[in-house]
Structures are given as C-alpha cells and as structure tokens.
C-alpha cells in the first residue's frame, strides 16, 4: 500500500533491533484494553444485577435501615419518573376505558400525573407502616424482620408481590419456567437434531445450500414477532383443536419458544455433525454399513457432545426468553402439571412487573434477585457447553 519504504543501505546491529515506537505501543495497549471491556461487561452485569438485589441479603439491623431508606428514596424513585409509561402497564389487565388512554394523559399534564401518584404509591404507602407495625414486637426479640421474612416466602408457591402481606414464592414460577422449557425442548430438540442430521448426512450439496440459510432465517424472526404469532394465531388454532379452557398456556408458550430455539439447536448440531472426521464415516461405509446406518450409528453418536452443547444452549435460550413468555403463556402462576394451564415464567415476571416497582422496594430487589439467578444459570450453561463439551470432543476425535 505504501509506495515508499525506508531505504537503508547500511544495516547495523543497532538499526535492525526492534525499536520502541510510542504509537505502536499505544495502539496495542488501547486495542487490548478495549478487548478487556467484554470481560468487564460480564463482571459488571453480574455485579450490578446482583447489587440491586442486595437488600434481600441484609439480615438483622440493616433490614430496618432499608425500610427507612425506602421511605426517603421515594421522591427520586424509578417508578415516579415513568408514571406515564407505568400507568397502562399496571392497569393493563383490567379493561381500560378509552378516556384513560388518551394521548393527553401521557403528555406533561401535571394534573393527571398528580392524580396518578397516590394510586401507584397507594399500596406501597399503606404497606410500609403496616409491615413495620406488625413486625415491631418480633423485631424487638429477633430484629431481622424484612429480609428473613422475604426469604421464608421464597420457598412457598404463592407469588403475590403487591399486597399488604407480600409473598414471593419462587416455586410456582420455577415450575412454570420448567414446564415451558420441557415442552419447548421436547418439540425443538428432536426436530432440530433430525433436520441437522438430514442436512449434514443425506442432503446433496445443492439442497444443503438452500436448506441451511432458510432454517437459519428463523433466527432472524424477532421473539416479539413469534410471540405475537403465538398469541394471535397459534393460540386460537390449538384451542380449536384441543378445546382446552385457557387460551394462553404453557403449551402455546412452549411451541412458540421451540420456534425460537430451533435455529440455535439446528446450527450448532449441524456444525457438530459436520465436524465429525471423514475417516469415521468412511470406515463405517467401508465395513458395509449403509448411509443411514452410518448417519444414525456412527455420525450421530460421534457428535453427541456437540449436540448436547446445542441442547444446553437451546435450554438457555428458552429459559430466559421474555417476550414470548410474556405474550403467549398467560402469565398466571398456577401450580399444576397440566400443560394446558397458564404459567408464569421467571423472565416474564421480571418483564411485566419491573416497571411497576419502586426503586429500593422489596419487590424490586426480588425481581433483580430472579435476574441474577437467570444470569448465573445461563452463565453456567454456557460454561458447561464450552469447557466440558470441548474437552470431550477433543478427547474423542484425537484420542488423547
């Protein structure tokens, strides 16, 4: 590119030595520190998501201080600033008259926002003195009301975050999340793996070039679009077939999430299947096995670790999927094994309730706590997929 290059006829040992150049040094340092940023982001995500849930862990005297902070923090709270955005969310489940939704309400009309405030804070204000009042006798002896009380409700099944006596039972949400995940994986797993097997083992090169991009195009469908499709079309369609009661349920959510998980599982399994050394298939074919026998009994078992990784990442995707869960699962934390009942998942709970909470409130902390659980879970899944599976693959193919 540079037409001029230094012409130096007298090379000495000195001139050939690698020189220190400030610009080079700076460039390298800047580039590696930017690269460091992605590591930093992971840590920051963990720290800041976890930090907001810290009040839950402040047992003892801190718990009392927390309730005081809660009181003073109200004016600069997160919820107060977005009252106009908040309103439709908090009242969304109830039929709202058109008058309430008028654009003027969302402008900077001071009267309407003033009107709103007592409503949004109503239960919070009513709740704070209530809890402190009822807890004081206990607090004298134990002095660890807030945090302990919240923790004890975690292992119950009731999720009633906004009431005079809030209960944060995570069991119901956990069961809901698992139910949707199992349904989605039961559909997505076999479909995606079989499709990957066809693409890598049976399809002609031409067909492969067409099939692969089309299935990967499914990954370009935004999850809100899939959720919308499930809500508007799938829900009605399946209800007319099976005739169950609640239109939105775990099954619909699972089917929709399967659509989101298929491209991930497909792509990674296909890569894993294609990465199986040719010698494996050639040996099998040379021994007289047919093409399908080779595919099912040689290629597929050899690629198991990779397919396992694909399934793990699929689970991660479904577990944390928010928009589809919000739109298609019905969002009622019911405790039943019936797949045609409404469920509420962890991610959907965060998505639908975060905007209603007040900064520093227990509910707010609990939602962040659920968030850190989700983060840890997806981090662990990725780590397992990465290290365990990679190690296995290397062992398998190189015989080390």
3-state secondary structure of 160: strand
Among 122, 125, 155, 222, binds other proteins (CB under 8 A): 222
Helix (H) or strand (E) holding 155: none
Write the DSSP string, 44-100: HHHHHHHHTTGGGG--THHHHHHHHHHHHHGGG-HHHHTHHHHHHHHHTTSPPPGGG
Angle at 285 between CA 279 and CA 286, to 5 degrees: 85
Nearer Cβ to other proteins (124/226): 226
Task: Mark residues 84-123: x for contact with other proteins by CB under 8 A, - for none.
Answer: xx--xx--x--xxxx-xxxx--xx----------------
Return the half-sphere exposure (C-beta side, CA atoms, 13 A cut-off) of residue 137. Answer: 2
Q: Tell me the closest approach of the beta carbon of residue 164 to other proteins, in angstroms.
A: 25
Nearer Cβ to other proteins (10/98): 98
160 bridge partner residues: 167
Near other proteins in 226-265, by CB under 8 A: 226-229, 231-233, 259, 262
Contact between 213 and other proteins by CB under 8 A: the answer reads yes
**Measured in Å, how far apart are the chain's first and last C-alpha atoms?**
45
Q: Are 335 and 175 in contact (CB under 8 A)?
A: yes
Taking CB under 8 A as the binding criterion, the range among 49-57, 114-122, 123-131, 163-171 that sits at the site for other proteins is: 49-57
Among 175, 320, 342, 366, binds other proteins (CB under 8 A): 320
Number of residues binding to other proteins, judged by CB under 8 A: 118
Contact between 211 and other proteins by CB under 8 A: the answer reads yes
Contact between 168 and other proteins by CB under 8 A: the answer reads no
Q: What are phi and psi for residue 8, nearest 5 degrees?
A: -125, 105
Nearer Cβ to other proteins (23/141): 23
Nearer Cβ to other proteins (138/386): 386
Contact between 49 and other proteins by CB under 8 A: the answer reads yes
Task: Mark residues 349-378: x for contact with other proteins by CB under 8 A, - for none.
Answer: -xx--xx---x-------xx--x--xx--x
Contact between 197 and other proteins by CB under 8 A: the answer reads yes
């Amino acid at each position: 590119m540079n037409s001029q290059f230094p012409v130096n006829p007298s090379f000495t040992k000195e001139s050939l030595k690698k020189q220190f150049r400030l610009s080079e040094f700076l460039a390298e340092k800047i580039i590696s520190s930017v690269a460091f940023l992605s590591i930093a982001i992971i840590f920051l995500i963990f720290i800041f998501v976890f930090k907001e849930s810290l009040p839950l862990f402040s047992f003892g005297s801190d718990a009392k201080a927390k309730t005081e902070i809660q009181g003073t923090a109200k004016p600069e709270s997160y919820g107060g600033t977005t009252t106009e955005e908040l309103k439709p969310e908090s009242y969304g489940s109830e039929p709202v008259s058109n008058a309430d939704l008028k654009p003027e309400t969302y402008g900077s009309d001071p009267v309407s926002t003033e009107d709103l405030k007592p409503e949004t804070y109503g239960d919070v204000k009513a709740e704070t003195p209530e809890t402190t009042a009822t807890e004081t006798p206990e607090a004298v002896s134990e002095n660890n009301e807030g945090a302990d009380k919240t923790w004890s409700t975690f292992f119950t099944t009731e999720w009633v975050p906004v009431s005079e006596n809030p209960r944060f039972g995570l069991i119901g949400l956990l069961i809901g999340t698992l139910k949707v995940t199992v349904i989605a994986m039961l559909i997505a797993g076999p479909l995606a793996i079989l499709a990957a097997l066809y693409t890598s083992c049976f399809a002609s090169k031409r067909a492969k070039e067409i099939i692969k991009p089309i299935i990967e195009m499914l990954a370009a469908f935004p999850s809100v679009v899939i959720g919308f499709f499930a809500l508007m079309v799938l829900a009605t369609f399946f209800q007319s077939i099976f005739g169950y009661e609640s239109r939105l349920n775990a099954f619909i959510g699972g089917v929709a999430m399967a659509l989101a998980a298929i491209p991930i599982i497909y792509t990674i399994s296909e890569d894993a299947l294609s990465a199986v050394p040719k010698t494996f298939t050639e040996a099998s074919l040379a021994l007289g096995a047919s093409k399908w026998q080779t595919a099912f009994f040689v290629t597929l078992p050899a690629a198991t670790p990779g397919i396992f990784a694909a399934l793990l990442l699929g689970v991660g995707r479904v577990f944390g999927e928010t928009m589809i869960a919000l739109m298609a699962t019905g969002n009622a934390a019911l405790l039943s094994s019936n797949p045609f009942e409404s469920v509420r998942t962890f991610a959907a709970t965060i998505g639908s309730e975060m905007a209603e909470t007040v900064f520093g409130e227990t509910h707010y902390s609990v939602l962040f706590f659920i968030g850190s659980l989700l983060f840890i879970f997806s981090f662990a899944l990725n780590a397992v997929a990465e290290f365990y599976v990679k190690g296995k693959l290397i062992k398998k193919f190189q015989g080390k």
